[in-house]
Each structure stands twice: as C-alpha cells, then as structure tokens.
Amino acid sequence: MYAGSTETRSPPITVPMLRQFKQEGRRISALTAYDASFARLADDADVDVILVGDSLGMVVHGKRSTLAVTVDDIVYHGRAVARGSRRALRIADMPYASYPDPRTAFTHAARLIAEGECAMVKLEGAGPVIESIRYLVEREVPVCAHLGLTPQSVLRLGGYKVQGRGEAAASALRDAARAAQDAGAELLVLECVPSAVAAAVRSDLEIPVIGIGAGAQCDGQILVCYDVIGISAGRRPRFVKNFLSGRDAVIDAFRQYVAEVRAGEFPAAEHEYAQ
Ligand code: KIV
C-alpha cells in the first residue's frame, strides 16, 4: 500500500500543454498504469502522461491479446489510477469494438471521461475511425490517435509485426497521421514503425508524436509500466528496456526512464526498427 500524500511539484498536465511541450522541444514521458499504487509511483517520478491501456488485458488479466478488454474494465482501472495520480494527464484506451461508429464511440468515450476520470481517450486505426475522432473532438472529448502496429488489429495482421515498412506503407501511414490531426486529435501514439518513418510523421505534424518502438526522434515515449521493471511475461520486444536492472526501487526505475526520455537517451539504436 502506498502511504500518505506527496506534495505536487509542478501543476497538472493539461491537454494544451502537450502541444506546448512539442513546440518547446521538451520530450514527453508516458507510462501505462492500471492501479493506484503504480499511478502514484509514475506521478512521483514526474511522468507526464499515464495511459490506462487496454494492454491490461494481457499484463493484468493474462490474456493473449487486448481484445477481451471492456469499457467497464477501463472505467474500473481508470478510477483506481485517478486515486493515485495528481499531475500526470490520464488517457483511457477505448477497447476493441467500442467505437464501431461515431455515436457509439461518443457514448463509450463519455463514460471513460466521466466515470473513468481520464482527460483524453485513445482510438486505434484510421479509415472509418477518423470520423469518430472528428465526432468526439466536436463534442469536447480530447482524442489521442494510435497508428502503426495497432494491437486491436492482431487478427487481421496475424501477429504483432512492425508496420510502415516500404514506401507505400510509409506513405499511407503519413497520410493517416495527417488525417487524424486534421480530424482534431491532440496526440498520436505510433507503435512499432521504422525510426525514419516515425521521424517523417513527427515532422509532418504539429501535435506531439509519442513513440513505442518508433525510435528516438519522436516527441515523447511510452512504455508499459511492467516492461520498464522487467516483470512482463513472454518474449521481450526489441523496444523494451528494463530500467529496474541495477536499481533497488521501482520509483528509481521510473525516474531513470523519465530522465532518459527527456535527455533523448532512450530509446537507443538497439531499441529501434530499421526501414
Ligand atoms: O494499451 C497500451 O498499453 C498501449 C501502448 C501504446 C502502450 O496502447
């Protein structure tokens, strides 16, 4: 159990601050969290963004994919995370099949904001998803888009594979990222794409690009909190680094992660994918 309260070092992160960080060249650090204790540690380590990710289906519930996660699950974990965090901006993942059309997306997003106590929702994919992004933004729901490897597409993709390789795929990815920004997304998560492609997307956009397996030239980085401390089961993806190695406490691992992201030291070349 965590004990007592900690003083806030700096003001809470707001949605407009994300763009400001990009303009100032200040790299954004983000982690997932699923409960109050990890959220408190991330907040105390000065993490800017906490994602209540649907990765909880895998790392908390032990499933083989994120597909079984429900809106109720994200609301439940979002509430717990909200009790532990004060400064970080909280983002809620919209689970698989919870945004088949704009109106349904709005119904679920409103729950994630109102009941799950998050300030932004994240949707995977482009194509028809762009209309849902626009619909949400027009109704005061801040949106984070998620492109590249979208884990909710695992059945179609046939596994968790690097995306955006080759000219046609890279150009489609850049178009999708621009479409998400034009629809009003305030943030973009780019997962498992070659670093050069991520760098191009980043320079195309005014909104910050947060990478996971997308190289060091993104405006920020995100990792699953369990990966940062080396307790996730199964094969470790190339982009993961265990920051607990050589340290005694989880908070020190989180602080080291934030420091390396801000300094542009993480990810290193060994964590990146080539074209
Ligand atoms: O659910 C998740 O953890 C994610 C990643 C981007 C970290 O979407």
- Pocket test residue of 58, 66, 118 for ligand 1, highest count of atoms within 8 A of CB: 66
Helix axes 129-138 and 167-182, enclosed angle (nearest 10): 20
CA dist 128 → 125, 158, 189, 246, 259 (Å): 8, 21, 18, 46, 38
Q: Which CATH number fits domain 15-271: 3.10.20.30, 3.20.20.60, 3.40.50.1970, 1.50.10.10?
A: 3.20.20.60
Q: Which residue's CA is the closest to the ligand 1 atom numbered 1?
A: 53
Ordered alpha helix ranges (H), the chain: 15-24, 36-44, 56-59, 71-84, 102-114, 129-138, 154-157, 167-182, 195-204, 225-228, 250-263
Q: Which residue's CA is the closest to the ligand 1 atom numbered 8?
A: 53
CA 182 to ligand 1 centroid distance, Å: 23
- Nearest ligand 1 atom to the CA of 222 is 7
Which residues, other chains included, contact 90 with Cβ-Cβ below 8 Å and sequence gap of 6+? 49, 50, 51, 52, 78, 81, 82, 117, 118, 119, 120
Residue positions annotated with a catalytic role: 191
How do the domains of the chain map onto residue ranges? Answer: 15-271
Each residue's pLDDT, cut to its tens digit, for the chain (275 residues) gives: 444 445 546 899 999 999 999 999 999 999 999 999 999 999 999 999 999 999 999 999 999 999 999 999 999 999 999 999 999 999 999 999 999 999 999 999 999 999 999 999 999 999 999 999 999 999 999 999 999 999 999 999 999 999 999 999 999 999 999 999 999 999 999 999 999 999 999 999 999 999 999 999 999 999 999 999 999 888 899 999 999 999 999 999 999 999 999 999 999 999 999 98
Each residue's pLDDT tens digit, 177-187: 999 999 999 99
Each residue's pLDDT tens digit, 22-66: 999 999 999 999 999 999 999 999 999 999 999 999 999 999 999
pTM of structure? 0.96
